[in-house]
Amino acid sequence: MQGGFVFYALARFQKYLNSPHSKLMKPEKNILVKKLLVKDVREHRNVIQEQTFHTESESDLNAKEESGLEGLYLFGDLRNGILYTYSMLLLVSLPKLPTGWSIRVLTGWWWMYCILVVTAYRASMTAILANPAPRVTIDTLDQLATNPISCGGWGEQNKDFFLTSLDTAGRKIGEKFEVIHDTNSALDKVSKGTFAFYDNIYFLQYASVKKQLLTEQNKNSEDTVLNTDQSDSVDRNLHIMRDCAINMPISIGLRKNSPLKPQMDKFILRMIEAGLIKKWLNDVMLVTFSAEIPDQGKSTKALMDLRKLYGAFVALGLGIKRYLTSSKMTNELLPDFPPGPLDVYRKQATFDWKKMRIFVETEDILKFKAHIWKTLESDPIFQHQVSTPSLDETRHIAVKRMIQLKKYNFLKIENVMENVRKPLAFLGALFQYDPSAAGKLSLTYGLFESSIQGMGTARHYPFVEASTEGKVTGKCCTHSVLYAKLITPDGTDHGLHSFVVPIRNPTTLLPYPGVTVGDMGEKVGLNGFDNGFVMFDQYRIPRENLLNKNGDVTPEGEYVSPMKDPKKRFGASLGNLSTGRISIIGTCVEYLISAITIATRYAATRKQFGPSEDKELPVIEYQLQQWRLFPYLAAAYALKNFSVYFGEVMVNFHIDSVLGNKKEKLADFGMEVHGLSSAGKPVCSWLSRDAIQECREACGGHGYLKGLGDLRNNNDACCTYEGENSVLIQQTSNWLLQLWSRRDGKSQGPITSPLGSVDFLSNAQDILATRFSASTKEMAVRPETLLAAYEWLICWLLQATNDRIKFNSDSGMDSFTAKNNAQVFYARPLSIAFLEVNRLSALHPVEVLAKSNW
């Protein structure tokens, strides 16, 4: 383990030395340093950071990458490092490691087991060779009882003593106890290791020393005279076992029932307590002890036995158990599909779909989702309707389901803390099952409460409590969270702030005077949502209802804020606005996954036309069908990866925002998340819109049945709510344009952001100076080539948008019009390309892993 850590540390250090960030290594003139969005991406891309995009030959490039990936870099991942270290210890050349985690666990334990066995075996062999006659000593009565060696002592009484013992081991000894008449011959047998002799400890000590002296004497005479008696050579000193059968320092024989016994006992006890007995015995034995040759620390136990390999067996057992249980778990979680028409294609698969699923989702998330779906499947409230219910019924069902979901409480706070992917996985699972109930739940409770937690303070927590109890929100809500401009009595506009606004009287549920509420009626989809409108006319709310984490108004009407810079304040509140949009990205991905799964399966089973009268082909065999569907299948993976990453970012932001962590970074973080989500929601919802439409058409007439149509209608709302796509996406280009003005790095230093998504803009001049140099298809589709091309495109579009706005302004347009007239060819594609490069960055680790051996 320690070796693994050391190699890992060395590999990291080596990587650091090779990285252009290292002060120890000066960057070459033409080196492009690419800043990355994702932490994981940073790690993987360190390997390719030194690519000279236009000046190096392909072979140089290959050589550089090869050398970067080989050798010590194999240890760059801690888990691989440990496994490779094991394999080295076993003198196995560096193998290709398996990627399935259960096989890796088994491999790790197997190697560990091998190391333990080999080490134990080698150690024992060495010990046996160094000490040719290892001896096993008997130290306890149990060992003596179970050992096949015979034993005995003088007198029938001793045999009876053992035979009548209450102890099983004692009785066993009694059964094989031989009555000895010749003590010397018995001791000889002991010295040859074939007999155990029972006697008083002092006598045994005396016999032992005597034997020791004799053995020593024989040894000395062997040195000078050739000893022909081989039996002598196996003699050894006597060993006295640790256990004591009877602890009796002295005994004096008396006639049975002798009246002297109590007196004798009393005096003997006194002598023992005074230490006289011990002293006298020691005095008597002194000659023996002084003659004893001290044991020179000779090791007598060197044999390898099974007990010494317990650790190895346990380690192997654990590995096997883990492997078996994980395989069983995988099969329980992802059972094989029942046989059917798709078998033909399933059998042609070049990868294991179960491993792929676990890789994309992780086992923890799959279990979590399976638990949700199983629970809903077995609950009558969640049974799918055979025919379309009326609008009222649809809403009624959605409310009932929402209340039931609240009761199930699938997403507990501890779940979120142990895995920040769970909130998005939870929403994804629900939106795939019933988007209306999912949406109602997340708006009624989730968004209302998280807005207050993120932007409010302790004075607002009663609203959260009331919401949890179901008293505040819903169709007849009494309160609502609204965003509005805050204008203080002195007429200063402090920008967007959020407020908890009372809507209805909690007793009568009638709207307060000045508030008008109404229902929006039936919609294209999501009819379980009872969307309404609310209008205010000269309506006043308490000052304390301002969610005041980032800014407050004193009773005197003065504006106060812990963030002096209004831009930072704005940035912090923007981050909170992104929660909904990031959830929508996740929802679009789940819609897209559902649609592409239906369409691909349908295409693989639906047969139409063929090369001959008697042969029809599944429509998936047609080039045109593949061209229509497969890009969306690929997009589903790319978007899934991006949404999972972005969901994690958002949960972490929310946690920091609630706990008041990283305050100094929160504003920049909020601004960046806003920039990413403002392009992310449009790009993802447009892509899923097009994909679902294509899937619907790809299923022919069957595609016009309700399922895909519902998906399309439900997804359509994603293009509109939480910011109409075409309006929202302008936020991203505006943010990028602001950063573009800082690209020279002189006024405010290099461009950096908490997630690193815009860091490459600091190198804009170098990037724009590069030329596309990939000369083969393989080079052109490398992730690093694509990323570099995207970075170039973004810099170019930024330059072009900036120039266009300047041109418009120079032509006499006001700034509002100048910006609006730069949207179509420049600003809009700029935002889309920016989001795509981030999607690609988030995907890059997947690319790297996909090359490994599944």
Residue number with CB closer to ligand FAD (195 or 721): 721
From the number of C-beta atoms within 10 Å of its C-beta (0-12, 13-18, 19+), residue 148 rates as exposed
Residue number with CB closer to ligand FAD (451 or 753): 451
Stretch that binds ligand FAD, among 283-291, 508-516, 595-603, 723-731 (CB under 6 A): 723-731
Residue number with CB closer to ligand FAD (85 or 573): 573
Stretch that binds ligand FAD, among 16-24, 261-269, 470-478, 719-727 (CB under 6 A): 719-727
Stretch that binds ligand FAD, among 523-531, 549-557, 561-569, 697-705 (CB under 6 A): 523-531
- The residues, ordered by sequence, that sit 6+ positions from 8 with a Cβ below 8 Å of its Cβ are 75, 76, 77, 78, 81, 82
Closest contact distance (angstroms) between CB of 727 and ligand FAD is 5
Q: In the window 423-462, what residues touch ligand FAD (CB under 6 A)?
A: 443
**Torsions phi, psi for 90 (to 5 deg):** -90, 10
Q: Decide if residue 815 touches ligand FAD (CB under 6 A).
A: no
Helices 725-740 and 828-850: crossing angle in degrees, nearest 10, is 90
Q: For the window 598-637, what string marks contact with ligand FAD as x by the rule CB under 6 A?
A: ----------------------------------------
SS3 of residue 708 by DSSP? helix
DSSP letters for 270-299: HHHHHTHHHHHHHHHHHHHHHHPPPP----
Closest contact distance (angstroms) between CB of 749 and ligand FAD is 33
Residue 208: count other Cβ atoms within 10 Å of its Cβ.
19
Q: Which of 675, 576, 695, 583 is nearest to 635 (CA)?
A: 695
Catalytic site includes residue 616: no
Residue among 67, 194, 505, 726 that touches ligand FAD (CB under 6 A): 726
Closest contact distance (angstroms) between CB of 328 and ligand FAD is 44
Q: Decide if residue 721 touches ligand FAD (CB under 6 A).
A: yes
The answer to whether the CB of 766 falls within 8 A of the CB of 27 is no
Residue number with CB closer to ligand FAD (442 or 600): 442
Token pair of 170 as six digits: 């004692």
Q: Decide if residue 420 touches ligand FAD (CB under 6 A).
A: no
| 366-376 residues labelled b (16+ CB within 10 A) or e (exposed) | bebbeebeeeb
Closest contact distance (angstroms) between CB of 533 and ligand FAD is 9
Dump strand ranges (E) for 454-557.
479-487, 493-502, 515-519, 532-536, 552-553
| Angstrom distance (rounded) from CA 142 to CA 243 | 9
Token pair of 785 as six digits: 């080539």
Residue among 227, 383, 516, 720 that touches ligand FAD (CB under 6 A): 720
Stretch that binds ligand FAD, among 143-151, 491-499, 614-622, 720-728 (CB under 6 A): 720-728
SS3 of residue 421 by DSSP? coil
Residue number with CB closer to ligand FAD (744 or 814): 814
Closest contact distance (angstroms) between CB of 465 and ligand FAD is 22
| Angstrom distance (rounded) from CA 779 to CA 40 | 23
Closest contact distance (angstroms) between CB of 845 and ligand FAD is 34
| Angstrom distance (rounded) from CA 223 to CA 242 | 34
The answer to whether the CB of 169 falls within 8 A of the CB of 144 is yes
The answer to whether the CB of 437 falls within 8 A of the CB of 403 is no
Helices 623-659 and 566-605: crossing angle in degrees, nearest 10, is 150
- How big is the CA angle at 355 (ends 350 and 359), to the nearest 5 degrees? 120
Stretch that binds ligand FAD, among 225-233, 373-381, 551-559, 713-721 (CB under 6 A): 713-721
The answer to whether the CB of 604 falls within 8 A of the CB of 698 is no
Residue number with CB closer to ligand FAD (455 or 717): 717
Residue number with CB closer to ligand FAD (715 or 770): 715
**Torsions phi, psi for 330 (to 5 deg):** -60, -45
Residue number with CB closer to ligand FAD (48 or 526): 526
Token pair of 849 as six digits: 């892993």
Residue number with CB closer to ligand FAD (446 or 675): 446
Closest contact distance (angstroms) between CB of 718 and ligand FAD is 9
Residue number with CB closer to ligand FAD (38 or 526): 526
Closest contact distance (angstroms) between CB of 427 and ligand FAD is 15
Residue number with CB closer to ligand FAD (492 or 726): 726
Q: Decide if residue 724 touches ligand FAD (CB under 6 A).
A: yes
Round the CA-based radius of gyration of the chain to a whole number and report it.
Answer: 41
Residue among 571, 723, 756, 783 that touches ligand FAD (CB under 6 A): 723
Closest contact distance (angstroms) between CB of 449 and ligand FAD is 15
Q: Decide if residue 713 touches ligand FAD (CB under 6 A).
A: no
| Angstrom distance (rounded) from CA 221 to CA 224 | 5
Stretch that binds ligand FAD, among 52-60, 173-181, 352-360, 722-730 (CB under 6 A): 722-730
Residue 733: count other Cβ atoms within 10 Å of its Cβ.
27
Stretch that binds ligand FAD, among 14-22, 379-387, 611-619, 718-726 (CB under 6 A): 718-726
Residue 487's DSSP bridge partners are 493
Q: Which of 408, 469, 467 is nearest to 433 (CA)?
A: 408
- Provide the terminal-to-terminal Cα distance of the chain, rounded to the nearest Å: 26
Residue among 276, 484, 727, 780 that touches ligand FAD (CB under 6 A): 727
Residue among 362, 531, 652, 734 that touches ligand FAD (CB under 6 A): 531
Residue among 116, 145, 717, 833 that touches ligand FAD (CB under 6 A): 717
The answer to whether the CB of 456 falls within 8 A of the CB of 440 is no
Tell me, by CB under 6 A, how many residues bind ligand FAD: 12
Closest contact distance (angstroms) between CB of 521 and ligand FAD is 12
Catalytic residue among 50, 361, 449, 722: 722
Q: For the window 482-521, what string marks contact with ligand FAD as x by the rule CB under 6 A?
A: ----------------------------------------
**Residues found near ligand FAD in the complex (CB under 6 A):** 443, 523, 526, 531, 717, 720-724, 726-727
> Could you list the active site residues?
722
